[in-house]
Structures are given as structure tokens and as C-alpha cells.
Amino acid sequence: MSLLQFTSLRHKFLLGAAAGLVALSLALVGLAAALYQHQLTQERSQASREVNRLLQAAMENAMLKRDLVGLREIVTQMGRQTGVRGAMILAPDGEIRFASDPAWVGRPFPFQAEAPCPDCPPNSLALAEPALLTTHFTLDAQGREVMRSFNPVANKPICAGCHGEPAVRPINGILVVDYDAAPIRRQAILSAMSLAGMGSVLLLATLLGGAWFIRRYVLLPVARLADTSRELAAGHLESRTHLSGHDELADLGHTFDQMADNLQTLIRRTQEQEAFLQALVDAIPDGIRVIDSETFRIVIDNQAYRDQIGLAAGESHAGTSCHVSSFGQPTPCPPSMVCCPLHEIDKTGQPCKTLMNFSRMPGDARQVEVFAAPLRARVEGVEKRFVVESSRDLVKLLKFSQEQKLAEMARLATGVAHEIHNPLASIRLALHAMLRNAEADEERFGPLREYLRMVNGEIDRCIQVTEHLLKLGVTPATTAQLVAVNPAVEDTLSLLAWEAGEDKVIITRDLENPTPRVFATDSELRAVVLNLAQNALHAMPDGGHLRVGTRHEGDRVEIVFEDTGVGITAEDAPHVFEPFFSHRADGQNGTGLGLSICRSIIEGYGGGITFDSQPGRGSRFVVRLPEASTRMPA
């Protein structure tokens, strides 16, 4: 088992508790063994003292009778007792007088090795106190472990004749008994093992009980707190500990759950506020992006801006550098070549306005008008500088202006219809009545009838022109409709008949039969035809020829405008569709909006517009739209 497995609280507790209980058990076993051994020693000493009193009485009787044989027999019999290794009686000078082993008789007892009386002079027991003599474990002459008991034989007044006064010679000798230590040790080991067994059972019960208690009331709550913390860190904000009880860990779990509830509420509110802010920014019709002045990275952008740079739905350039997002450049824009709002605001600290070309894709740029203003805000406790940019798509702005213009024309045309069309209709009714009267009197009103018919035809022509003007001024529909191309072209060109005559321009029509049909708005298609035809007239100030044709080309419908005008130079060609670019051949100042609006309208219906021009030889503009059978209305 590796050390890493002991890093958890459970393993640390179990390891520490086991080590502590084992050490405590060993100490208790050792102490119990020592106490038991000491108790046995004390019991044997007590037994020796009891025997000593019996032997002392017997020895005193034998000494008084001078019965040395009996005394020797007592010592010999005592050495033969079960559990006794040997017995001897020492004289006061340490000489062995009687012994169960005759070989020891007459030898001096090794007091220095045994040290039964540490305060006594070597080889002398004359001055020894009986209380100082002890019982302890040692080795006998054969190297066997024995428990040796020193039992002093006190001197009494009756013995003073032979041994002297008791005050001078307190003892007459010492009875030394060697008990076999093996049974004592064995008994001590058995008792220690029994005690160790009980200690092991106690240890196991303590460990199991402690482990259950710690697991139930400590480890499981802590593990639940840790699991919930990891789940919250992983983003699962609904995770809770759900600890029961009223102890400290349960209170901690309740507090933790309350903290998680508050955190979830705050995060939900923050997310709702962020979503509301994004929805609010997306609702702004102008393109909005907030840029970090230090990193040049976009912090927030809205849907209008994403549409301007051609991002797909659901995508965002938040976190992308502004120069990468709008220009596709890996490095910041050079301030000397481009009017960079970040550079201007950093230099002046004031809002600024500029024109930019946002790159949607290679070869496709959209001209926008950018308003920029500085912004200071605290982010994570640090004040940072930002730049807020509002960008307006000039093409959409011009289209909106054109739609307003068309709406005004529609209102004007309605007024014309009421002021001119209705009186012309009344005049027509009066002419019809006069014609009926003239036909009744052929002879009298014959010449007048021809004049009346001519006036009626001119009135019809005026009414037709008025109707064409009404169609051109109709407000565009919100959805595409099925439009016949030829009538729209024919009606619009008829409005330019007078202008073409004044400019000495011949207009010819080459319209395919049957008429092509597309999904578009009739008024906007007429506006495209009007703008392209007028541009052709302006390109031929000295007269010329304008050919307008319609045809099918695969799954496309083409409207072709070919003129014999001055053409477009190579320098002007890249700017033809840019807003506010105007270079009329007749010397007049145009608005520069016509071709920009035409391209915006055509692209809005899934089509395109191209041109080919040679200076001095004329130009050819081609409008391509999906044929109605290949495209259903959105």
C-alpha cells in the first residue's frame, strides 16, 4: 500500500488510532507482566519468610540442642521440594555452612555478584539489617534462572551465648532459597498473553467502534461536503449536502447548503442580467461592439454587428481582436493609414466618427459609418478603459432612405391620382357623351368627332402614365411576390420616353416571350430598372442607343442594359457600387446612391448585379435574379 493511500482523513485516523492503541496495549501488557512478576516475587518472598520462621524455630531448636545433622537434613529436604532449585544457610561472615548441594558447603557466597545487601561490607553480614535483604531473579551456578530469596535469621537473646548480643550481631545467618524461575516466568507469560488477548479484543472492539463512529459522524459528512464542493466547482449548482443532525458537521453542511443556494441565486441573477444585457444590445438596430483598449479584444457585440461582418446565426466575435473581426488582419490597424477609433480616443479622450469598410469575406466589403466613444468601468476591482463603437451599414441606411423616398412618392402619386386622374376620368365621360351625340349627326359633327377621338386617346395616355407612376411609388411589400419582369420593364421605360427624346437617345426593347417571372417586390424591381436606365441616359449626353432586354439563363432571369455611352474608366470601376460615389458624364452632380441601392435590392432577393465597360464604347449592366420556379418566397 503506497503512502498516498494514507492521505485521507479516514486512513490517517485508523492508522493513528491503531498505532496508539497498539502502543498502549503493549505498555499495558508490559506493565501487567512486570506487576504480575513483582506480585509473584512478593508472594514467594512472603512464602520464604513464612518458611523462614518455621526453619528458624527448627534451627534454633537444633542449634540449642547442637543438632547439626538435623539442621543439615532440614536444608537438604528443603532443596528437594518441588519448584526449589536449592537451599543453603550462610554464616554471618558469608561462608556457606549448610546447603542442599554438599559441594557448596564451606564456600563463600558471592555477595558482590548478588548484592543482596548493597550497604553491607563485602563478605560480611554482621551489621546487615534484615529488612535490606531482598528477593530477585538471577542465575544459579548451573546457569539456570532462579528466583533467589534471602531470608535473614535474626539473632535472639537466647542465642547470645554463641552469637553475641543481638544489638551487635543482629542476624545469625541467612537462609538462601533458589526457586525455579521457569514456572514463574511461564505463569507470567500466560497471564500476559491472556491480558494481551483481552487487550486485542478490546483494541479490535475499540477500533471497530471508533471506525464506525468516525465513518458515520465524521467521514461520511466530510466526504459529502467534499463531493458537493467538487460538483459545485464542476458547474452543478443544484448539488447540496443534505446532512441531517445538529452536530458541528451537520451545522457546517446546513451553512454550506445555504451558501450554495445564495451562490446559485446570485449566478442565476448574473446570468439573467447578462442575457438581458445581450438581448438589449442585440435589439439595437445599429452594430454595437465594446472593445478593450489595452488588448484590442471585443468584449460584447450585437446581432447587427455580426450581420455586418457576415457571421452565421449563433456565432459571436467576443474575445476576438477588433482588427481580426472587422478587417481580417492579424495585426492592429496602422493609425497613419486608417482612422482607428481606439487610437483617436486614446489620443484625444473624445468621441469620434469615421467611415470604414468591414470585410465580410475576401473580395466583399461593406462600408459602414462608425461612431466611437470612450468608456471606463471597474472589472474585478480594477478600472479599465473600453471603447464603444456604433456602426451603421450605409447600404441599409441608403436603402431605408430610398424606401422613405418611395413612400413619399407613393403619397405624392396618390395625391396626383386624386388631383389629375379623377378629373381626367370625368373629362373622358364628357368626351364619350359628346362622341355619342356627334355620331348621331354625322353630317354636322363629322370633323369635330375626329378631334374628340384624338383628345380621348391623349387622355387615356395621361391616365396610363399616372398609373405607371402609382406602381413605381407603391410602398415595398414586406415579403417577396411573384412579379412579371416584362411589364415592370415596359412600364418603367415608358416613363423615360420624354427624357430619352430630349437626350436624343433611342430606347429599344428585346423582351423574352413569355415574360420571365421572379419573386421580388414590384415597386423595388421598377426602381432598379429606373435607376439603371437613367444611369445609361446620363452616360450619353450627346445621344446614343439604349438596349434593354430580358431572358432566361439557366435557372436565372437576366435583365440586360446596354448603352453606347462614354463608359467607365479603370480607376472608377472599383468604386461604382460604393455609396456617395458619383461621376456623371453629363456634368451634373448625382447623389451616388442609385447603384448602391440597386445592388442592395438585388442581393436581398438572392441575385446579383455585374457590369462590363469599355471607355468610349459604352457599358453593359446585367441584373440576375433566381427564376420563380426555382425559388419559393421566404
- Mean pLDDT value of segment 510-525: 88
- Mean pLDDT value of segment 329-343: 77
Q: Check if the beta carbon of residue 86 is closer than 8 Å to that of residue 99.
A: yes
Number of domains in the chain: 4
Which set of grid coordinates corresponds to residue 57?
524455630
pLDDT score at 202: 75
pLDDT in tens, 568-594: 888 887 778 776 666 665 556 555 667
pLDDT in tens, 186-213: 776 777 677 777 777 777 877 787 778 8
What is the number of alpha carbons within 13 Å of residue 75 lying toward its C-beta?
Answer: 26
Confidence band of 328 (pLDDT split at 50, 70, 90): confident
CATH number of the domain to which 379 belongs? 3.30.450.20
Same domain, 345 and 252: no
- Is the model more confident about 489 or about 442? 489
pLDDT in tens, 351-370: 988 888 787 666 567 778 88
- Is the model more confident about 47 or about 120? 47
Look at residue 5 and tell me if it is in a domain: no
pLDDT in tens, 229-250: 888 888 888 888 888 878 888 8
Q: Check if the beta carbon of residue 152 is closer than 8 Å to that of residue 128.
A: yes
- The 3-state secondary structure of 84-130 reads EEEEEEECCCCEEEEECCHHHCCCECCHHHHCCCCCCCCCCCCCCCH
Sign of CA dihedral 188, 193, 194, 195: positive
pLDDT score at 563: 92
Q: Check if the beta carbon of residue 147 is closer than 8 Å to that of residue 153.
A: no
**Residue-wise DSSP of 174-195:** EEEEEEEHHHHHHHHHHHHHHH
pLDDT score at 315: 83
pLDDT score at 2: 47
pLDDT score at 440: 67
11: left (phi over 0), alpha (psi -120 to 50) or beta: alpha
Same domain, 256 and 311: no
pLDDT score at 561: 94
Same domain, 277 and 310: no
pLDDT score at 1: 44
β pairing state of 544-553 and 505-511: parallel
pLDDT score at 558: 94
Look at residue 228 and tell me if it is in a domain: no
Q: Give dist(CA 216, CA 306) in Å, integer.
A: 57
Whether residue 486 has pLDDT greater than 50 = yes
- Mean pLDDT value of segment 215-228: 84
Q: Give dist(CA 412, CA 473) in Å, integer.
A: 8
pLDDT > 70 in the chain, percent = 70
Same domain, 166 and 38: yes
pLDDT score at 341: 86
- At 620, give phi and psi (nearest 5°): -135, 115
Burial 288-310 (b: 16+ CB within 10 A, else e): bbbbbbeebbbbbbbbbbbebbe
Same domain, 146 and 248: no
Helix, strand, or coil (residue 607): coil
CATH number of the domain to which 576 belongs? 3.30.565.10
Whether residue 622 has pLDDT greater than 90 = yes
Whether residue 464 has pLDDT greater than 50 = yes
Of 349, 369, 394, which marks where a domain is finished?
394
Average pLDDT taken over every residue of the chain: 76
Of 369, 394, 419, which marks where a domain is finished?
394
Of 394, 419, 450, which marks where a domain is finished?
394
Burial of 322 (0-12, 13-18, 19+ CB in 10 A): buried
Most confident of 207-216, 404-413, 458-467, 498-507: 498-507
Whether residue 116 has pLDDT greater than 50 = no
Same domain, 165 and 302: no
Angle at 204 between CA 203 and CA 207, to 5 degrees: 85
Strand (E) positions, 316-381? Answer: 352-361, 364-379
pLDDT in tens, 40-81: 666 666 666 666 566 666 666 666 666 777 778 878 887 787
Look at residue 103 and tell me if it is in a domain: yes
Q: Which helix (H) or strand (E) holds 614?
A: strand 608-614
- Helix, strand, coil proportions of the chain in percent (round to 5)? 50, 20, 25
Confidence band of 132 (pLDDT split at 50, 70, 90): very low
Q: Which residue has the cell 557448596?
A: 104
Range of the domain at 33: 10-187
Q: Check if the beta carbon of residue 316 is closer than 8 Å to that of residue 304.
A: no
pLDDT score at 113: 47
**Residue-wise DSSP of 483-504:** EEHHHHHHHHHHHTHHHHHHTT
Which set of grid coordinates corresponds to residue 556?
436565372
Q: Which residues contact residue 578 at a Cβ distance below 8 angstroms, ignoring those fewer than 6 apart? A: 367, 592, 596
Burial 415-440 (b: 16+ CB within 10 A, else e): ebbeeebeeeeeebeeeeebbeebee
pLDDT in tens, 536-549: 888 888 889 999 99
**Residue-wise DSSP of 261-322:** HHHHHHHHHHHHHHHHHHHHHHHSSSEEEEEETTT-BEEEE-HHHHHHTTPPTT---TTSBH
**Distance from the Cα of residue 355 to its chain's centroid:** 39
Reference 91, options 17, 157, 172, 155; nearest CA is 172
pLDDT score at 337: 60
Q: Check if the beta carbon of residue 197 is closer than 8 Å to that of residue 29.
A: no
pLDDT > 90 in the chain, percent = 9
Same domain, 309 and 356: yes
Look at residue 550 and tell me if it is in a domain: yes
Q: Give dist(CA 500, CA 538) in Å, integer.
A: 10
Q: Which residue has the cell 483598449?
A: 293
Q: Check if the beta carbon of residue 524 is closer than 8 Å to that of residue 602.
A: no
Look at residue 65 and tell me if it is in a domain: yes
pLDDT score at 579: 67
Same domain, 67 and 146: yes
Whether residue 120 has pLDDT greater than 80 = no
Same domain, 167 and 123: yes
pLDDT in tens, 401-460: 655 665 566 566 666 655 666 677 677 777 777 777 666 666 666 666 666 666 777 677
Look at residue 58 and tell me if it is in a domain: yes
Look at residue 604 and tell me if it is in a domain: yes
Same domain, 99 and 23: yes
Q: Give dist(CA 511, CA 527) in Å, integer.
A: 18
Look at residue 507 and tell me if it is in a domain: yes
Q: Check if the beta carbon of residue 367 is closer than 8 Å to that of residue 395.
A: yes
**Distance from the Cα of residue 613 to its chain's centroid:** 58
pLDDT score at 3: 45
Confidence band of 117 (pLDDT split at 50, 70, 90): very low
pLDDT score at 48: 61
Same domain, 298 and 258: no
- What global pTM score does this model have? 0.43
Confidence band of 489 (pLDDT split at 50, 70, 90): very high
Question: CA of 323: how far to CAs of 277, 329, 387, 466, 523, in Å?
Answer: 24, 6, 14, 52, 39
Confidence band of 388 (pLDDT split at 50, 70, 90): very high
Same domain, 596 and 565: yes
